[in-house]
Structure 1
């Protein structure tokens, strides 16, 4: 019986032996695997094939992996394809940061660990599936909010239940066989639990996204200062976080819950990705320009990523606190602002950290 091919993977490496080894690890009846020996050849393939995941070697002649990814992220048709770097280069921060800045989603280090390689590929193919399904739904259900919400609830139930079961089973095995487990097995169990938690958070974010992007009713007069104070109480920042509030005692016309969600997301990102000993955030309102600015003293965002960060599932990698996002939050922020006739953008001219602007706010 022939099994329908669900995913097409593109493997790029200038050494044929590496391609053979990687292909043997990833082969599956429901996958088509295309291999090529250069970045230029890979770009030609992307013009013809619908690719679910790219695995590209970093060190190649003529066009290295970094250059290849930079080109793919500049074109709308290929920008959202998840990309894994396969490399023998040291896993120093400078190499990893460069990859994340370009838009790669993760690394596989040579010599490849078969189990880790398979798990990572499976995880990112699942994310690709969710992205494709969401795109199909958005095309079909533009005016059918109820069906979209129903679908999201089904996803949340059907996917989170087995994920929770996996996490519970792994914890049970660890508890029952703690003394028998080797260090390598313990590390693999930790990876499984971490992947389950990441996928669970992704599902929660997708559910929240589907519930919030469609409704455009219920605007009311909001006091910016009161709303910001409410959000800060929810976030409950630590003593190492300083939040300055400037000229916020003004009223705007906005939906209450979406406004809080926008502020909470931008504040949470400013905290999560900050790399300083004391995190300092400033929230200010310009009543002449009718805009709110949220700035921080963090590491900043490369100008080349200023617009990409609003794309669905696009992330800048791991935060300085060790966790990472799902790439849904800023996309949701922009959608919620647009539903209230406002705009959100990243201020690429801000040089001391990051600054996001919520503009075209209507006074109440």
Structure 2
């Protein structure tokens, strides 16, 4: 869209910018341009500064104040002095460039071509993002339906197993008894997998904003929820600090890391130390378990990847740490594993943001 109160200027500028694949709309006033913007989709506006009734600054201010047109890139075109105050005012209003008459024809063409390419790319990204949002919503809905449909027959299987166990408790011995226990264990694993898949999809799609979150309160709530056995000690070091984080995400991260430190610990007493480093703004969860070989430090964060550890009789679905990584990155933080020789391992979350008081 070209906006200028002088028809001869519009004709000249249109002749410079005309292309077979480009539609150019010309307007001789800001009011006329605003009327057209209500009906037409515009990719770029070039507007003269000095116009009667409504000058270019007033026109752009109105355009930028309306949600439907606020993101349209705008270039001011003017014959007035290239005083810094005029340029500053243009950028303050949201303009992307300022061209002075007489125009350099080649430079004007290149700038317009560049800004239109940026606009087209931006629109493609928005379209892809909208499609991705729809797909993610479909995925979450599918996961919910899948979980419901799978859980119903699974509940029936568990009920039948309980009936069989009650009626044949005295008769199941030897190999049949082992096979029966294997079936029971498989139903537990399948139920956990369904729950984890559903939880994963719901958490990944949750886009609530970051808030001021107290680390100590989060850790203590998680510990109450887990209710660890007497052979587990959890030391909390310097945790009474606030960070900017999604509350549910931090809760899920801490829950997974502490649960894993307990679940896969191979010592008589599981020692877990949770520390917040005020200087580096990082959160550490250390344990005295078997540790994780360095070659698996990346693999454990991949979906459905496990190391096969079953030290406490529990297997993993390979979803928990993948969820931890996704939630950490969604909050612009990073997570890595540090090996502690002969002393287990450390999960370290870095790049956290301290909350201002």
TM-score normalised to structure 1 length: 0.59
Instruction: Supply the distance in 1 between the matched residues of 2:142 and 2:173 (Cα, whole angstroms).
Output: 42
Q: Bigger shift: 318-327 or 331-340?
A: 318-327
3-state secondary structure, aligned to 1:352: coil
Distance 1:311 1:283 in 2: 24
Aligned to 2:228, the other structure's residue is in SS state coil
C-alpha RMSD of the superposition: 2.0
Partner-residue secondary structure (3-state), 1:325:
coil
Q: 1:281 aligns with which of 258, 272, 279?
A: 272
Q: Equivalent residues in 2 for 1:322-341 (5 A)? A: 322-341=313-332
C-alpha displacement at 1:351, in angstroms? 5.0
- Report the alpha carbon displacement of residue 311 of structure 1 after superposing the two structures with TM: 1.0
Match of 1:148 in 2: 139
Task: Give the equivalent residue in structure 1 for 2:192.
Answer: 201
Counterpart of 2:301? 310
Q: Please say if 1:216 is aligned against 2:202.
A: no
Distance in structure 2 (CA, Å) of the matches to 1:140 and 1:208: 23
Decide whether the 8 Å contact of 1:240 with 1:279 is kept in 2: yes
Which structure's CA Rg is the greater one? 2
Number of matched pairs: 226
In structure 2, the CA distance between the partners of 1:335 and 1:187, relative to structure 1 (3 Å rule), is: same
Displacement, 1:179? 4.5
How big is each residue's C-alpha offset from its partner over 1:71-97, in whole Å with a ceiling of 9 and x where there is no partner? xxxxxxxxxxxxxxxxxxxxxxxxxxx
CA drift at 1:260: 0.7
**Contact between 2:336 and 2:348, CA under 8 Å: does it hold in 1?**
yes
CA contact (8 A) 1:216 1:340 kept: no
Aligned to 2:344: 353
3-state DSSP class of the match of 2:160? Answer: helix
**Deviation, structure 1 residue 332:** 0.3
Q: Alignment partner of 2:208: what SS?
A: coil
Q: Structure 1 residues 308 and 361 mapped into 2: Cα distance closer, same or farther (>3 Å)?
A: same
Cα distance change of structure 1 residues 331 and 141 upon mapping to structure 2, 3 Å threshold = farther
Structure 2, unaligned runs of 5 or more: 1-128
Checking the alignment, whether the CA contact within 8 Å between 2:291 and 2:340 is kept in structure 1 is no
Q: In the alignment, does 2:293 pair up with 1:299?
A: no
Question: Is residue 333 of structure 2 the alignment partner of residue 342 of structure 1?
Answer: yes
Give the superposition deviation at 1:298: 1.0
2:262 maps to which residue?
271
Long gaps (5+) in structure 1: 1-138
What is the CA deviation profile of residues 216-258 of structure 1, one whole-angstrom value per residue up to 9, with x for unaligned ones? 3321001111111111111112222111111112110001111
Rounded to whole Å, the distance in 2 between the matches of 1:149 and 1:193 is 28
Equivalent position to 1:172, from 163, 180, 188:
163
Distance 1:183-1:361 versus aligned 2 partners, 3 A rule:
same
Kindly indicate whether the alpha-carbon contact (under 8 Å) linking 1:215 and 1:339 is maintained by their aligned counterparts in 2. Answer: no
CA separation in 1, counterparts of 2:157 and 2:189?
Answer: 13
If the length of structure 2 is used for normalisation, what is the TM-score? 0.60
Over 3 Å counting, the alpha-carbon distance change for 1:141 and 1:329 in structure 2 is farther
Deviation at 1:350, TM superposition (A): 5.6
Look up the SS of the partner of 2:339 in the other structure: coil
Q: Which residue of 2 aligns with 1:86?
A: none
Task: Map Cα deviations across residues 150-183 of structure 1 (whole Å, 9 max, x no partner).
Answer: 1111111111111121122122223334445453
Structure 1 pair 185–307 and aligned structure 2 pair: CA distance change class (3 A): same
CA distance in 1, matches of 2:141, 2:203: 13
Aligned partner (choices 235, 240, 244) of residue 244 of structure 1? 235
Deviation string 1:47-94 (CA, Å, 9 cap, x unpaired) is xxxxxxxxxxxxxxxxxxxxxxxxxxxxxxxxxxxxxxxxxxxxxxxx
8 Å CA contact 1:245–1:283 kept in 2: the answer is: yes
